[in-house]
Amino acid sequence: MYSVTRIVQAADGCAPDEWAAAVIAVTSAAESCGAARHIVSETLPGVINGGDLIIHAEFTDKSSWQSAGTAFDGSLDHPAVEGFHGVEYQNGTSGRSTTDTRTGIYRALFVRVAPDTPPTAIEHFERDLLRMPALVSSIGAWRLSRVSASIGPTQWTHVWEQEFTDHESLSGQYLDHPIHWGVVDRWFDPECTEVIIRDRVCHTFCALDTPILLGS
């Protein structure tokens, strides 16, 4: 599968009805773009550089996205939209820890690994991320992918996605877990010699009614 994610920023001062109209237009475009599955959902409190709206769509292949891309992104040309950034990627390593399909939160983390990072360090970073689901019980599903193309000021290199049971599980158990602050954070901490993420990150999440991380 080939995935596309857009993080949308509402225009300053736009009226609620204008924003609602923009969301309706985007939702209509997502529903008619030929994606196998999609999300259009407003972000929840606590995002970092995460915008006001998440659009995520998964296509059978890259060519299917290319056929739909102009209309898909064209729906964001709206007075209520200040701008957007995003990524495109071939779905990477994924998993699901349970057959229970109930879910509550979709979360995506966009990061940019420094260009001079040795491949061995990148692979180590990826392995550390993929260790997390076995230790953090509230992660119901996950996927780690390398970015094929970025839109916006930051050239993202990786997307780390999860489904959580609820908001508290993300903001509490996940972010406070020892695997997070004791192992993974060193890749982001400028005071650690292992740091490879030097730019800002995009930490964004929204409510999710139906599972989206269903494999590659």
* Model pLDDT, residue 175: 73
Tokens of 216: 């590659």
Write the pLDDT tens digit of every residue in 126-171.
999 999 898 888 888 999 999 999 999 999 999 999 998 888 778 7
Question: How confident is the model over 101-113, as pLDDT tens digits?
Answer: 556 899 999 999 9
At residue 136, the pLDDT reads 84
Q: Where are the domains of the chain?
A: 2-207
Q: Nearest CA to 39 among 108, 93, 141, 99?
A: 108
Query: Which residues, other chains included, contact 63 with Cβ-Cβ below 8 Å and sequence gap of 6+?
Result: none
What's the mean per-residue pLDDT of the chain? 90
- Say what the pLDDT of residue 16 is: 93
What is the mean predicted confidence (pLDDT) over 8-26?
94
pLDDT at 114: 95
pLDDT at 99: 56
pLDDT band at 97 (very low <50, low <70, confident <90, very high): confident
The pLDDT of residue 170: 80
* Alpha-carbon distance values, 146 to 124, 126, 139, 160 (Å): 14, 10, 20, 9
Any idea which residue has 């692979």 for tokens?
A: 123
The better pLDDT of the pair 99, 20 is held by: 20
Higher-scoring residue by pLDDT: 138, 8: 8
Considering the domain delimited by 2-207, tell me its CATH architecture: 2-Layer Sandwich (3.30)
Q: Which pLDDT belongs to residue 169?
A: 77
CB 135 within 8 A of CB 177: yes
Helix (H) or strand (E) holding 119: helix 119-135
